[in-house]
Amino acid sequence: MLGRYIPLLVAVVIAAIIAGAMVVGSLILGPKKPTRFKETTYECGMTPVGSARDRFPIRFYLVAMLFIIFDVETVFLYPWAVTFELGSRAERMFLLTEMGIFVGILLIAYFYVVGTGSLEWGTEDDASSKALGKAKAARPPIRFGNENSGPVSLPSGARKAA
Partner 1 sequence: MGAPTQAIRDLSGILPILVLWGVALVILLGAPLLRRGPGSRLAAPLGGAGALGALLVLLRGSSDGFGDTLFAGAALTDTLYSSGAFVLLLGGFLSVLVAQTYLRSRDLEKPEYYAIMLLSLSGALLMMQANDLIVLFLGLELMSFGLYVLAGFARTDAKSDEAALKYFLLGALASALMLYGIMLTYGVAASTELSNVQSAVARGALKEPMGIAAALLLVIGLCFKIAAVPFHQWSPDVYEGAPTSATAFLATTAKIGAIVAFLRVCDTIAGGYHTWLPAIRAIAILSMIVGNLIAIAQTNVKRMLAYSGVAHAGYLLVAVACMGFRLMGTKGTQASILAMTGAVFYLLAYALALIGAFGVLAYLSSRDKDAQTLNDLRGLASSQPAVGYAMVLFMLSLAGIPATAGFIGKWQVFYAVLTGGDVALAVTMALTSAMGVYYYLRVVWYIVFEESAAPKPSPTGHGVEARPRAMTGVGAAITICCIATIGLGILPAAISSFLTVVR
Partner 2 sequence: MTAHLGTIAFVSLTALTILPAIMVVSTRNLVHAGFWMLPCLIGVAGFYALLEAHFFVVVQILIYIGAILVLIMFALMLTRDVMDPKERQTNAMGVWAGVICGLGLLASAHMLFRHPWVGVTSHPGDAHAQTVALGKALVTRYALPFEAASVLLLAALIAAIVIAKSMRPPAASVGCDGEVSGG
Residue 43 or 98 with smaller CB distance to partner 1: 98
User: At 60, is the secondary structure helix, strand, or coil?
Assistant: helix
Angle at Cα 55 formed by Cα 51 and Cα 57, nearest 5°?
Answer: 125
112 binds partner 1 (CB under 8 A): yes
The answer to whether 138 and 51 have CB atoms below 8 angstroms apart is no
Q: How far is the CB of 135 from partner 2 (least distance, A)?
A: 10
Given the rule CB under 8 A, which of 1-9, 16-24, 33-41, 150-158 is the region that contacts partner 2?
1-9
In the chain, DSSP finds a helix count (H) and a strand count (E) of 6, 0
Total residues contacting partner 2 (rule CB under 8 A)? Answer: 55
The answer to whether 49 and 140 have CB atoms below 8 angstroms apart is no
Residue 108 or 142 with smaller CB distance to partner 2: 108
11 binds partner 2 (CB under 8 A): no
Given the rule CB under 8 A, which of 47-55, 68-76, 111-119, 148-156 is the region that contacts partner 1?
111-119
**CA 72: distance to chain centroid?**
20
